[in-house]
């Protein structure tokens, strides 16, 4: 059993954009689009970035904390909506983000006596160990904070930056772009003096400069109306509450990280390609995403001994480059579409070519987006109903959080690359998290939360299937 957790809160403050600096092109009010509205009351996304100290006497309180606070204030000049709140006044037909002078991001400074190297490892760790490292969004029926931050010191070892972000405001790409922007400005302002010194906010490179023009999002199918009505009916009629759905971490579950190296992914690719050559069915391109997800799905469903006739896999795709016309990759807000794959359990889990069957189904689902990234989106309101009602699906579903394309391990504040990055919120959602490998070997890290018995079974299968069935 894990030792009693100990995290001591040292300070809770609010970091605001510098009042003496212009707000650049960052708007103080921003409407939600239909992409955002879909996630209105979904639980927030929680990420943890672990950084190891290079020396045991690193000046945390005298140097690192002032630098992080100062650079955060400057970064918010570019990301003003993050310092505000989501509101839904009675005279507005839909919610919007509102920033007013005096608003800021809640920042908690804490200290922990937990084992930094245990928490930032790949091995089995109790999911509840991470809860004290995660900040909470301030919320009420009338308003909810957009983001919250916590920096936790592990004396003589390192520190952790936790970010909780409202899913109706930020998708994964926007959230990680903000953290990278903060890291970029922290590096640019290193040694610039105290936080009180007059200084303009450094400009961001083009690949980090947020694009705020909501007119870029077209809604010919009136999805905004459909999804707003779905939310108003939840607990309604006319339920305009902004309170997020609460999810609890189930007792006794553990998290672990697994990795497929670039070499192992290539082995999977060759295996699937040979299978395709034997069959009449050809997929033009087998992506790393499809291979990793398909392999993980098969191992997971075997580990939990799925018995349903059909099993489902759901994942999100970035729609920015898939919309017509396309929108900039730095668009601020949600811009993700959903893909779902329903598979016959018997075909997916069979030892003979089950992995190939799942990988090909995922690839076909992604290819189908070429016909319209929002095809069938009018029916997605049913997902809102199912999720909020917490009803048991007839098809056990696996969902995905994160993406190797976010390149989270490049997030360097000037203290080195992260030792570990975790999507902590999968302990509530049950999703599988994906990121690029920290080792830079072209591999992918896979994060899971399961009970101990299932995790042991998955770990065994994850090694065994690749060795014995993929050849």
Question: CA-CA distance, 422 to 427, in Å (whole number)?
Answer: 11
Catalytic residue from among 167, 171, 357, 427: 167
Catalytic residue from among 115, 219, 275, 412: 412
Please state whether beta strands 397-402 and 432-436 pair in parallel, antiparallel, or not at all (unpaired). parallel
Residues in a beta bridge with 109: 11, 151
Question: CA-CA distance, 181 to 203, in Å (whole number)?
Answer: 10
Q: Which residue from 27, 30, 22, 28 is spatially nearest to 74, judged by alpha carbons?
A: 22
Question: CA-CA distance, 294 to 360, in Å (whole number)?
Answer: 8
Place of tokens 């029926």: 141
Half-sphere exposure at residue 56, Cβ-oriented, CA atoms within 13 angstroms: 1
Identify the helix (H) or strand (E) that includes residue 165: strand 158-165
Half-sphere exposure at residue 277, Cβ-oriented, CA atoms within 13 angstroms: 6
Cβ proximity of 168 and 144 under 8 Å: no
Question: CA-CA distance, 13 to 245, in Å (whole number)?
Answer: 26
Is 412 a known active-site residue? yes
Cis peptide before 237 (omega within 30 of 0): yes
Q: Mapping DSSP to helix (H, G, I), strand (E, B) and coil, where does residue 374 land?
A: coil
Length of the chain: 471
Find the DSSP H helices in 328-398.
345-349, 354-367, 381-389
Cβ proximity of 316 and 322 under 8 Å: no
Tokens standing for residue 450:
């399961």
Question: CA-CA distance, 341 to 68, in Å (whole number)?
Answer: 42
Cβ proximity of 86 and 169 under 8 Å: yes
Ranges of beta strands (E only) in 219-347 are 253-260, 310-318, 336-344
Active-site positions read: 167, 412
């Amino acid at each position: 059993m894990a030792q009693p957790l100990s995290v001591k809160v040292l300070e809770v403050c609010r970091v605001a954009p510098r009042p003496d600096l212009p707000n650049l092109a960052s708007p103080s009010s921003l409407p939600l689009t239909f992409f955002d509205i879909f996630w209105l009351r979904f639980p927030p996304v929680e990420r943890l970035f672990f950084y190891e100290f290079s020396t045991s006497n690193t000046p945390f309180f005298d140097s690192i904390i002032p630098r992080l606070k100062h650079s955060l204030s400057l970064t918010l000049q570019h990301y003003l909506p993050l310092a505000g709140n989501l509101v839904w006044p009675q005279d507005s037909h839909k919610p919007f983000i509102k920033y007013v002078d005096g608003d800021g991001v809640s920042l908690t400074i804490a200290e922990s006596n937990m084992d930094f190297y245990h928490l930032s490892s790949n091995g089995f760790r109790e999911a509840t160990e991470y809860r004290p490292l995660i900040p909470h969004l301030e919320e009420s029926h009338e308003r909810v904070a957009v983001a919250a931050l916590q920096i936790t010191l592990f004396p003589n070892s390192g520190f952790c930056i936790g970010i909780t972000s409202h899913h109706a405001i930020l998708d994964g790409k926007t959230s990680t772009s903000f953290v990278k922007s903060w890291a970029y400005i922290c590096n640019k302002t290193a040694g610039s003096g105290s936080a009180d010194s007059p200084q303009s906010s450094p400009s961001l490179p083009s690949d980090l400069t947020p694009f705020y023009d909501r007119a870029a999002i077209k809604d010919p199918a009136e999805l905004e109306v459909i999804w707003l009505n779905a939310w108003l009916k939840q607990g309604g009629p006319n339920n305009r509450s902004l309170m997020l759905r609460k999810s609890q971490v189930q007792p006794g579950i553990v998290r672990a990280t697994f990795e497929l190296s670039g070499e192992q992914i290539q082995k999977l690719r060759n295996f699937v390609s040979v299978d395709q050559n034997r069959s009449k069915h050809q997929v033009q391109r087998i992506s790393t995403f499809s291979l990793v997800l398909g392999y993980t799905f098969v191992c997971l469903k075997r580990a939990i001994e799925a018995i349903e006739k059909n099993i489902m896999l759901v994942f999100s795709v970035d729609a920015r480059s898939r919309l017509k016309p396309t929108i900039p990759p730095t668009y601020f807000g949600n811009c993700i579409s959903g893909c779902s794959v329903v598979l016959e359990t018997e075909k997916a889990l069979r030892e003979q070519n089950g992995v190939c069957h799942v990988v090909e189904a995922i690839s076909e689902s992604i290819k189908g987006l070429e016909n319209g990234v929002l095809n069938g989106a009018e029916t997605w309101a049913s997902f809102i109903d199912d999720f909020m009602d917490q009803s048991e699906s007839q098809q056990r579903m696996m969902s995905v959080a994160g993406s190797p394309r976010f390149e989270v391990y490049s997030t360097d504040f000037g203290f080195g690359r992260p030792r570990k990055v975790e999507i902590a919120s999968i302990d509530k959602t049950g999703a599988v998290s994906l990121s690029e490998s920290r080792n830079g070997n072209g591999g992918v890290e896979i994060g899971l939360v399961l009970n101990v018995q299932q995790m042991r079974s998955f770990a065994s299968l994850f090694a065994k299937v690749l060795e014995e069935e993929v050849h």
